Amino acid sequence: MNSHMVVLNGQRTLLSRVMGGVLSLLAVGGILVTIAAFAYGKNAARQSFDRILLGAANDIAESIDIVNGAPIADIPVSAFGLLSLAADDRIFYSVRGPQGEVLTGYAGAVARDFTHDTLTTPAFFDSTLQGERARFVTVARRFSERDFSGAVFVFVGQTLRARNAMALDLTKGAVLVTGIGGIALLLGAFLVIRSAMRPLEHLTRDLSHRDPYDLTPMAADGPAEVAVMVHAMNRFMQRLDRQVGAMKHLISDTAHQLRTPVAAIRAQAELAIEDDPAHRAQRLERLVRRTRSLGTLLDQMLSRAMVIHRTDNAPPSAVDLRDVALKVFEDRDHEVLAPEAEVRLEIGDVAVIVMADEISLSEAAKNMLANALRHGTSPITIGVCADRGIGEIWVQDAGPGPANDVIDTIGQRFERSAASKGNSAGLGLSIVRAVAEAFEGKVHMARNDQGFRVSLALPADQSTGKV
């Protein structure tokens, strides 16, 4: 690997892991080929030298004649010529009569019994020759003459040195060819793997040279596996970019929005201290209004930051919008925000299930209700409905709502309508829009016969069979 590929904490590189696996497979394959080659060489050597033994035995058998009623063997030179092909081996031959008597050759006992009357084909067997393992063949030649009738047996044997040498040579040749082929395959595998891993090296180089604040998507070039990883990294960077953006917005918004109310609170407090007692109550009342406004601003800013964080990190789950509306209604926050306002709950008996984050939905519903309480007309209704695979949680007041040109700007951060009269930070419906975008929903604002309605519409979960 090159300098762009960094190995941490002694971890093995992917190349070394793959090459280790390839080498292990080649080693196992080499062992199996060696065993198969040795078995093949041993079998080939046995067949070759068995033919030599059989040829020598047949030559000797063909040289046997019946003279004066007795078998006579004139051993031909060709028989010993065949056996001499294995120069380092000891040889054995013996010609025996029907009763096993030695007619010519070695008189040593052959460690095998034959049924003389049934021996019709050459028979091979393994035994020892002067304490060394050897291979033998027996050939029978039958005679039916007036003065001699019966079988004469020819035994020829040979030690195994030449056979083993031949098997070893064949094995060495096969292993040599296999080894050269294995090395070529290993080198080819190394080059192929290096070529296949080059996109990873490019990706590593691009990431190491990238500016820490650069979270733009990377090009998904290269094989499909690398493209999948790049897509996953791009999605992660998008989430990280949103988190960093939310943090930047929170910091900038805090610095921008808190400066004026904090300065106003300080001024009102200083005036209350310096003013005469007759005006102190009025100063304190203004100070309380300012602190309440500041508290509302802080609550909305923290709520928006929390919603953005949860929509990026909390996995969606099945949520019944009726539970969300019921919880917001039973929390009774409206009794603090607008004690004189009448708030109603309108939910049906059929569950309206959506895939979202319950806490984020609750924050959105609370802000929809708070917005209606601040700018709408009582009575105010929070409700849930479903139609054509879309679930909605909505808040409706009895007023006419804002002007048409104002509706288009409602929901943008710190966008105040004329109806807010300076008492709103413009974050309420911005939170609702953020929740809608996070869960593939939409925010609808429209007038109807009963008043002005703001609704958060989300795709219903069809898997539950309820909408």
Task: Tell me the per-residue pLDDT of 404-437, one tens digit each, with 9 for 90 and over.
Answer: 776 766 645 444 443 344 444 456 677 888 888 8
CA–CA gap between residue 39 and residue 34 (Å, rounded): 9
Tokens of 91: 């040889």
* Cα distances (Å, whole numbers) of residue 431 to 180, 264, 309, 312: 70, 26, 12, 14
* Range of weakest confidence among 21-30, 307-316, 358-367: 307-316
- Give me the pLDDT at residue 410, please: 63
Please give the C-alpha separations between residue 311 and each of 250, 305, 354, in angstroms, as whole numbers. 16, 10, 14
DSSP string, 316-350: PEEEEHHHHHHHHHHHTTHHHH-TT--EEEE--SS
Average per-residue pLDDT in the chain? 80
The Cβ of residue 352 has, within 10 Å, a number of other Cβ atoms equal to 27
The set of residues, in sequence order, having a beta carbon less than 8 Å from that of 109 and lying 6+ positions away, is none
Sign of CA dihedral 238, 239, 245, 249: positive
pLDDT, tens digit, 9 for 90 and up, residues 67-97: 888 888 888 888 878 777 777 888 888 898 8
List, for residues 359-405, the tens digit of each pLDDT value.
888 888 988 898 888 888 989 999 999 888 899 999 999 988 887 77
- CA–CA dist 163, 173 (Å, integer): 15
Confidence grade of residue 112 (pLDDT, cut at 50, 70, 90): low
Tell me if residue 426 falls in helix, strand or coil: coil
Are residues 253 and 298 in contact, defined by beta-carbon separation less than 8 angstroms?
Answer: no
User: How far apart are the C-alpha atoms of 1 and 42, rounded to whole Å?
Assistant: 45
* C-beta of residue 399 within 8 angstroms of C-beta of residue 417: no
Residues in the chain: 467
Q: Per-residue pLDDT for 335 more than 70?
A: yes
Split at pLDDT 50, 70, 90, the class of 464 is low
Has residue 34 got a pLDDT over 50? Answer: yes
Give the Å distances, CA to CA, from 467 to 105, 318, 325.
Answer: 106, 12, 16
The residue with greater pLDDT, 275 or 153, is 153
Q: Is the pLDDT of residue 134 over 80?
A: yes
- pLDDT for 179 equals 87
Binned at pLDDT 50, 70 and 90, residue 345 comes out as: very high
Residue type, 160: L
CB burial string 357-368: b at 16+ within 10 A, e below: bbebbbbbbbbb
Q: Judging by beta carbons within 10 Å of its beta carbon (0-12, 13-18, 19+), is residue 448 exposed, middle or buried?
A: exposed
Give me the pLDDT at residue 381, please.
94
Q: Are 346 and 421 in contact (CB under 8 A)?
A: no
